[in-house]
Amino acid sequence: MNDIIVQLQEMSETVPIPLELATFEQIVEVEEEILMPLPLALKEYLLEASDLIVGSLEPVTASDPYSHTFLSEVTAYAWSIGLPREFVPICQQGDSFFFITQEGEVKLWQDGEIHEDSWETFWEWAENVWMKS
């Protein structure tokens, strides 16, 4: 995990208005809003790497409720169009979502179906999908 975060930091773009890392309190608020706990790896990402801008994918954030990547809003939309409620979206691409299970596995939900592709952890997904976007 730490090696991947370092790689993401090295790849991160500088932007005029940078993102902020989520606080523990903000993560608790998101969990209360979506009425479920977040998987540990997603919490780690939100606390340690959610301020990074890398490639074309924009993973969810939890520090700014007005952001288009705000986890509560992305989750509400994903669930409203059919993503099963036991899953938490981690990245939106139009009406497709990469999501994480409570066990920490990441998969793709597209066109109303869960694809066979999967990544054992959030960090494996970050390395093999997000960093290559």
Q: What is the pTM of this model?
A: 0.95
Q: Which tokens sit at 32?
A: 């209360």
- Residue 45 has a pLDDT of 98
Domains of the chain, with CATH numbers? Answer: 2-10+19-132 (3.40.1580.10)
- Residue 17 has a pLDDT of 86
Residue 15 has pLDDT above 90, yes or no: no
> Which is nearest to 102 in space by CA: 41, 56, 12?
41
SS3 for 18-82 is: CCCCCCHHHHHHHHHHHCCCCCHHHHHHHHHCCCCCCCCCCECECCCCCCCCEHHHHHHHHHHCC
**Separation CA 74–CA 91 (nearest Å):** 8
| Cα–Cα distances in angstroms (integers) from residue 35 to residues 31, 58, 118, in the given order | 6, 23, 25
Q: How confident is the model at residue 58 (pLDDT cuts 50, 70, 90)?
A: very high
Give tens-digit pLDDT for 78-115: 999 999 999 999 999 999 999 999 999 999 999 999 99
Identify whether the C-beta of residue 45 lies closer than 8 Å to the C-beta of residue 59: yes
